[in-house]
Amino acid sequence: MLRILVCSLFFVIVLSLGLSQASETMTFKVAMVQMTPVHLDKKANVKKMTGFVKEAADRGAKLIIFPELITTGYVGPISPPEYNGFYEASEPVPGPTTESLQKLAEERGVYIIFGMPERGKSRLGPVMYNTAAIVGPKGLIDRHRKIHLPLGEKCYFMPGDQVKVFDTEYGRLSLLVCYDNWFPEIHRIAGLKGANIIIDVTNWPAFDMDAWFALGTGIAASRELYFIGVNRVGGEDYWPGVGGSIIANPSGKILTKGENKEGIVYGEIDMSEIAKRRSFPPVWFDHRADLYESLLKGVGSK
């Protein structure tokens, strides 16, 4: 009998907390910029980005997101000229491009997220990272370095090793870069750190778009948060983008989906939907961290 009473009380508390939070509605507009970059022409790409930011801000967007490596285009088959071209176009964070876009973000009162090659240092000497940078109206400059590097990217970049969550007035944002999306451990860490919006900036390939939509909606539903995925259009012949940028709500429903054309895809986030969804089922309350950690013991052993 005591167990029944405790369980009943727990259910009432969880439901009431969820509904009370759900009454606090906060909505804002998101701009997903499906831009076509010019290969290794950073000046032209940043100029184009600036125009898109101004257009999106004029239409009321508060979160403006560009695809992976948008300042340079995507890496090609490894060669000394190609590597040198990317290294010359790379920058530290903060650096000229982040500082320029941060000034624009401050002027327009928006957050801008974009992909770029970041120049860094290691014990082995100069290195590059495939980075998603975020700048905001209050001087915020930070980044997520792509953790999982596919195929030829390993020849260009060092992998990142941190999952960050950025506090903003429009939610707690966690960033991914493209292939990071395949690995549920990253979403789990972001959720445990309090993320309520996960954003993936990407150059997702045309031949694998079924997986793109399945992964994005699965992240949103399983973590009970918003997923925003921004893919480019066009670009290099060896890796063309086809758009398909999406916003998925905390139930995994696609609210907005981009077509295969360059331009801005607008959508709206309603933060109250997160609390409504998390009231039932209470996934994060029922999360079994004790079990998951034990499953990792012995992984990789014979």
Whether the Cβ atoms of residue 292 and residue 28 lie closer than 8 Å to each other: no
Q: What residue has token string 């903003």?
A: 168
Q: Which residues of the chain have pLDDT under 70?
A: 1-25, 295-302
- DSSP state at residue 166: E
Q: The CATH number of 26-284 is which of 3.10.580.10, 3.30.450.40, 3.40.50.720, 3.60.110.10?
A: 3.60.110.10
Q: Where are the alpha helices (DSSP H) in the chain?
A: 2-22, 42-58, 80-89, 96-108, 184-192, 209-223, 272-279, 289-296
CA distance 217 to 180: 15
Other C-beta atoms lying within 10 Å of the C-beta of residue 60: 12
DSSP string, 221-275: HHHTSEEEEEE-EE--TTS-EE---EEE-TTS-EEEE--SSSEEEEEEEETHHHH
**Coil, strand or helix: which one is 69?**
coil
What's the pLDDT tens digit per position in 241-250? 999 999 999 9
- How many whole angstroms separate alpha carbon 254 and alpha carbon 246? 7
Do 132 and 176 meet the contact criterion of CB atoms below 8 Å apart? yes
**Rounded to an integer, what distance in angstroms lies between the CA atom of residue 52 and that of residue 49?**
5
Nearest residue to 176 (alpha-carbon basis) of 224, 232, 235, 115: 115
According to the model, what pLDDT value does residue 292 have? Answer: 72
| Number of neighbouring beta carbons within 10 Å of residue 250 | 24
User: What would the pLDDT profile of 41-65 be if each residue is shown by its tens digit?
Assistant: 999 999 999 999 999 999 999 999 9
Residue 22 amino acid letter: A
> What strands, in cross-sheet order, belong to the sheet with 125-135?
141-145, 125-135, 111-122, 61-65, 27-34, 263-270
pLDDT digits (tens, 9 = 90+) for 141-189: 899 999 999 999 999 999 999 999 999 999 999 999 999 999 999 999 9
